[in-house]
Amino acid sequence: MKVLYFAWLRQKIGMGEETVDPPTGVETAGQLVDWLKTRGPGYEAAFKDARAVKIAVNQAFGTRDTPIAANDEVAFFPPVTGG
């Protein structure tokens, strides 16, 4: 699974993208977030306030309940603002 991190999430985690192999039972974007938080302090800091993180699965906006699969691309980014 390809995971992308943008803006301050990238800064806290220390990379813009990675390929991960989540354990069995990680079937939603929210479960992926919960698992990623266990991978180290940078991940924990990045996902500390889940409401401040938006999710896209295969380039479509999603939620914590969006199903994910091994070949998906999951992106995490801060809320988009306009001006």
Range(s) of the domain holding residue 51: 2-77
Q: How many domains does the chain have?
A: 1
Q: Provide the CATH number for the domain around residue 47.
A: 3.10.20.30
The pLDDT score that the predictor gives to residue 55 is 98
Helices and strands, number each (H, E), in the chain: 3, 5
Structural element, H or E, at residue 17: strand 17-19
Tell me whether residue 27 is in a domain: yes
The pLDDT score that the predictor gives to residue 82 is 61
Tell me whether residue 36 is in a domain: yes
Least confident of 6-15, 28-37, 72-81: 72-81
Residues 3, 72 contacting (CB under 8 angstroms): no
Tell me whether residue 65 is in a domain: yes
Q: Is the pLDDT of residue 22 over 70?
A: yes
Tell me whether residue 82 is in a domain: no
Tell me whether residue 12 is in a domain: yes
Tell me whether residue 83 is in a domain: no
CA 82 to CA 41: how far, in whole Å?
A: 31
